[in-house]
Amino acid sequence: MKYSPDIHHRRSIRLKGYDYSQAGAYFVTLCAQNKECLFGEIVDGKMMLKEPGLIVEDCWGWLSKQYPHVILDTWVVMPNHLHAIIMITYDGRGGSRTAPTVMAIRKPLGRLIGAFKTVSTKRINVMRETPAVPVWQRNYYEHILRSEEELIRTSEYILNNPARWAEDENNPAVIGNANGHRVM
């Protein structure tokens, strides 16, 4: 195979020209490496977390503690992925008649997701005694939520996700089955 300088060039799935550090609500989905069911299992429509899933849950919560401009809305850890709504806020201080103090630099969405993946991967790998083994797929899905209705609809989708696991496109029993029927 002949070397091409574009061989490692990946097409961005982000909205071109959009500032992902600006205030807004974002729906994200992060998948485990090879969609491995590492984080737990669905039992009677409810997610039962294993130790790696508990770490994911704890590390996701860490984001809002670490970064004052982050609010974590609805989210769920699934057997092999995480669905979440993350909000980036304006964190300037000051009332309507006072000038805001110096605003801290806000990390954009991609850097926040990167920080979460790094922290959770390190902790999971320490627990599994598997240094440098990837836990997450390289990229993630994101969608900008542009209205209150979209926020509510997405939140309901996330909350109902465990009950719909049998039809979930990330469920290994459904993956590769064009009809969406469970593969036994």
Domain-embedded: residue 182: no
Domain-embedded: residue 177: no
State the pTM of this model. 0.81
Domain-embedded: residue 48: yes
Q: How many domains does the chain have?
A: 1
Check which CATH number belongs to the domain holding 133 and give it: 3.30.70.1290
Domain-embedded: residue 149: yes
Owning domain of residue 87? 24-92+99-167
Domain-embedded: residue 105: yes
pLDDT tens track, the chain, 184 positions: 444 444 444 444 556 767 778 889 999 999 999 999 999 999 999 999 999 999 999 999 999 999 999 999 999 999 999 999 999 997 644 344 444 444 556 789 999 999 999 999 999 999 999 999 999 999 999 999 999 999 999 999 999 999 999 999 999 988 665 444 443 3
Domain-embedded: residue 180: no
Alpha helix (H) residue ranges in the chain: 51-66, 109-128, 148-160
